Structure 1
Amino acid sequence: MPPFLPGAEPFHRDGSSTGVLLCHGFTGSPHSLRPWAEYLAERGLTVSLPLLPGHGTRWEDLAVTGWEDWYASVDRELRLLGERCEHVFVCGLSMGGALALRLAALHGHAVRGVVLVNPAAALPRMQGYALPAGRFLLRSVRGITDDIAKENRTELGYSRVPTRAAYALRDLFRVVHKDLPKVTQPLLLLRSRTDHVVPASDSALILSRVSSTDVTETVLERSFHVATLDHDAEHIFADSLGFIDRLTAREPLSAKDSQ
């Protein structure tokens, strides 16, 4: 296996009996969620941020993986968290949101709540139509990273998207669509008003199909797609912690208290 790109390493920190699993996006890496993971870990939570198979090395490695590989990775991490934590929350950015929703749908009460940031739920229609044949004609297309409003901030990810992996992503979305009514857990969804990668219709689709009754939707005004590295990052981190504290009746813990 090729070495990780610097900054793409997975993150894990042991803490309290409340665990959080963070799922990064398609062609991205833990880099996009590391500040969020560190924020939660500094406040005493047990945090797991795995590197999905095929990511964080070279885009060619992603071409030989599929959605089952990506999902198996986060499924395994959820089970490990469940062995040591009383409450486990799943969170995801972009495609990571789709993975988090499938975890919630299939694991039921083992997932206490779900936090989504600009979740992806569908490929653009024209891209979806072109993929079945296009994956045999083109090996890769231009990448989709770095949709960030904040100046001088970049996301560590691939500059190319393997078309075979994009086809697998389409299959993941189809599976997740069928799962959505099985999602009953409390849900916090944060989406950017301006997102050049995932349209607002993806969030609307998710909210229209889940069976959750405790739902909060927040619109982020100052960030683009990778909001966890953007102007609204601290807002996301604080809201997710408040969501977790409310559902676990956990006493709020400051970063200073946890040291």
Structure 2
Amino acid sequence: MNQVFYADPEHQPFAFPGGSSRALLIHGFLGSPRELRPLARELADAGVTARGVLLPGFGEDISQLKHVRADDWLGAARRAWVETRRDAEHTTLIGFSMGGAVALCLATEAGLAPDRLILLAPHWKFADRRTVVLPIAKYLIREFKPFGRVDFDNPDIRRMFADMAPGADLDDPEVRHQLRDSATIPTHALDELRRIGVSAAKAAPRVSVPTTILQGLQDTTSLPAYTRALAARMGADLLEFPGDHLIVDPGKPSWATVRDAIVRLATAANPV
């Protein structure tokens, strides 16, 4: 799978200089810093130094995902966050999807609270209730094929692959066959995703900093009802709007809403 996906340098970590205010952006499951680069560029243009971390087991490291634990994701984000915070006048911690769970956990650690926490379609609970069996299923079913039944003619699917594997010809039957048959995800990784979500839910009541959650109303991955429950548990501000899960995609109608809200929040305390 790693031979096809994530070869583009944009999947690597980034740092866009802005000013003395700083933000760390944490990507989602099977994602990479690339998905947050457009947002980071907007922040840098607004005077906020923006950094994106690559979590273990993703990007070109995808072949190692079966060996990665939730604590590894948290550890990598923690190291990046400590570096991001150093000498900053104002700090913003931003997490998308699974990255939201990681950011939420970090925000409650001693000495690591940001000045502001922003969660984008945060993961903390699976939409599919069958995932309750993951702690057992991971020993019985070692991996699954995520693209086995995918519609390669779907515009959203094609856009996703354009980001992940720009050189893949999705109109080539052989390429489609390889993607359907060869690309696998370890069930163990899904259980680690479950574990980081559980940790985030437990940490939520301990968040003591201003927090805003952005959520698309048509999201079938991070369900709006679950996000409302999380916001209530945290006492967070919740901004809902029409949109699916990929609210960080500049090609989506929700992009302007997301971009403007995050830039406004992250620059609210910028030094004059």
Same fold, TM exceeding 0.5?
yes
Q: CA deviation at 1:216?
A: 2.6
Alignment-derived partner of residue 46 in structure 1: 49
Q: Residues 192 and 220 of structure 1 are in contact (CA less than 8 Å); yes or no, is this contact kept in structure 2?
A: yes
Alignment-derived partner of residue 39 in structure 2: 36
Q: CA deviation at 1:119?
A: 0.6
Matches within 5 A, 1:21-170: 21-57=24-60, 59-107=62-110, 110-124=113-127, 126-143=129-146, 153-154=159-160, 156=163, 160-170=184-194
- Are residue 5 (structure 1) and residue 7 (structure 2) matched? yes
Q: CA deviation at 1:112?
A: 0.4
Please state whether the residue corresponding to 1:63 is helix, strand or coil.
helix
Name the aligned partner's letter for residue 224 of structure 1.
D
After the TM superposition, list the runs of 4 or more consecutive aligned residues in structure 1 that deviate by more than 6 angstroms.
Answer: 148-151
Distance 2:164 2:105 in 1: 23
Distance 1:175 1:151 in 2: 30
Higher mean C-alpha displacement, 65-74 vs 150-159: 150-159
Alignment-derived partner of residue 173 in structure 2: none
Name the aligned partner's letter for residue 106 of structure 2.
L
Alignment-derived partner of residue 187 in structure 1: 211
Distance 2:158 2:68 in 1: 32
Structure 1 residue aligned with 2:237, among 188, 192, 216?
216
Report the TM-score when normalising by structure 1.
0.84
Alignment-derived partner of residue 256 in structure 1: none
Distance 2:214 2:68 in 1: 29
Name the aligned partner's letter for residue 234 of structure 1.
A
Q: CA deviation at 1:46?
A: 1.0
Please state whether the residue corresponding to 2:15 is helix, strand or coil.
strand
Alignment-derived partner of residue 238 in structure 1: 260
Higher mean C-alpha displacement, 151-160 vs 172-181: 151-160
Alignment-derived partner of residue 254 in structure 1: none
Distance 2:111 2:230 in 1: 17
Distance 2:207 2:113 in 1: 12
Alpha carbons of 1:100 and 1:72: their partners in 2 closer, same or farther (altered >3 Å)?
same
Aligned length: 244
Q: Residues 19 and 46 of structure 1 are in contact (CA less than 8 Å); yes or no, is this contact kept in structure 2?
A: yes
Distance 2:155 2:119 in 1: 19
Q: Residues 100 and 122 of structure 2 are in contact (CA less than 8 Å); yes or no, is this contact kept in structure 1?
A: yes
The percent of aligned pairs where both chains have the same amino acid is 26
Distance 1:154 1:240 in 2: 23
RMSD value, Cα = 2.6
Q: Residues 149 and 224 of structure 1 are in contact (CA less than 8 Å); yes or no, is this contact kept in structure 2?
A: no
Q: CA deviation at 1:131?
A: 1.0
Please state whether the residue corresponding to 1:236 is helix, strand or coil.
helix
